[in-house]
Structure 1
Amino acid sequence: MNRPISYDECNCFALRQAARHVTQIYERHLSAVGLSAAHFTILAKLARTPNLTMMDLADAMVMDRTTLVRAVKPLQRDGLISTEPAAHDGRTFLFSLTDKGEKTFDEAAIAWRAAQDEFESSFGRGRAKALRSELFDITE
C-alpha cells in the first residue's frame, strides 16, 4: 500500500502555492494598468526582444503554443501587440509591441516595480535574488 502524500514534502505543491501567492501581489499592482501578470511578462519579453516568432516566444515563456495563443489574443485585440508575417515565410508570424503596447508596458513597469518592492521588502532582497537564481536554474 502506498503511503499518503505529504504536501510538506511535495516540491510541486510548494512551488504552485508560492507562485499563486506571489502572482496575487503582482496582479494587485498590475490591475491598475489593466494587465495580468501573465500579460505583463509577455509584454516585457517583447519589449526586450521584438519580432519574435510564436515558437520563440513560447519557448521564452516556457508555455505551449496553444496556451500562448490564448494569452496573446487579448493583447492583440487591445492593440498592444502587432503580428506581421515574416519576410522569409508568410506562414510564420512575428510579434512586437505596438506604440500603444510600449506605452502600456512603460506604465505597467511602474506597477511591476511596486509589486517587486513589496515582495522583496517582505521576503528580503538577498533571499529574493537567490530564489530567482535557483528558479531560473530549473528552466535552463
Structure 2
Amino acid sequence: MVKPVLLDEQLCFSIYRAQKAYNHFYGKVLKPYGLTYPQFIAMLALWEHGKMSVKELGHHLELDSGTLTPLLKRLEADGWVSRNRASDDERRVDVTLTEKAESQKEEIYERVGACTNYLDFSSDKYHELRQEMNEVEHHLNAIQMNNARFS
C-alpha cells in the first residue's frame, strides 16, 4: 500500500494557499483603483507590450477568451482599456490602454512595489522563489506533454 502524502505535506497545496494569499493581498492593494488581480495582470501585460489583440493578450496571460473577454469588458466599462475591431481583420479585436490607464500607471507601480516590501524578502530571495516557481511549472508542463497517462 502506498503511504498517502497528507494535505499539509503537499507541494500543490502549499502553492495553492500561497496563490490565494497573494490574490487576497493584491486585492487589498488594488482596491483603491477598482482592479482585481486578474485585471491587474492584464494591465501589466498591456503596459509592457502596448496594443495587443485579445488573442495575444490571452497568450501572454495564459487565459482563454471565455475568461479574458468578461475581464476586458469590465476594464473597458471602468475606463482602463478600449477594445476595437482591427481595420484589416474584423475577426481580431485589439485592446489598447486609455489615458486613465497611462496616467495611473506609475502610481499603481509604486503602490504595488511598496507593498511587496511587506514580504520582507531580499531581492535575491524574491528572484530565487520566482525562479523555483518557474521551475515547478516547467517540470509540470514537461510531464504533461511527455506522459500519455495524463491525457
TM-score bucket (shorter structure): 0.7 to 0.9
> Unaligned 5+ residue runs, structure 1?
none
Q: Indicate the structure whose relative CO is greater, using CA pairs within 8 Å and at least 6 residues apart.
A: 1
Residues paired across the two proteins, number: 138
- The residue correspondences of 1:65-84 to structure 2 (distance < 5 A) are 65-84=65-84
Q: CA RMSD in A?
A: 2.1
Larger Rg over CA atoms:
2
* Runs of 4+ deviating beyond 4 Å: 1-5
Residue pair 1:86, 1:92 contacting (<8 A) in 2 also: yes
5 Å-filtered alignment, 1:56-95, equals 56-95=56-95
Q: CA deviation at 1:2?
A: 7.3
SS at match of 1:32: helix
Identity of aligned residues (%): 25
Distance 2:27 2:115 in 1: 8
TM-score w.r.t. the length of structure 2 is: 0.79
The structure richer in strand per residue is 1
Q: Is the CA contact (8 Å cut-off) linking 1:46 and 1:97 kept in structure 2?
A: yes
Q: Which amino acid aligns with 1:101?
A: A
Q: Deviations over 1:77-112 (max 9, x none)?
A: 011101122232011011110111212333211211
Assess if the C-alpha contact under 8 Å between 1:40 and 1:105 holds in 2: no
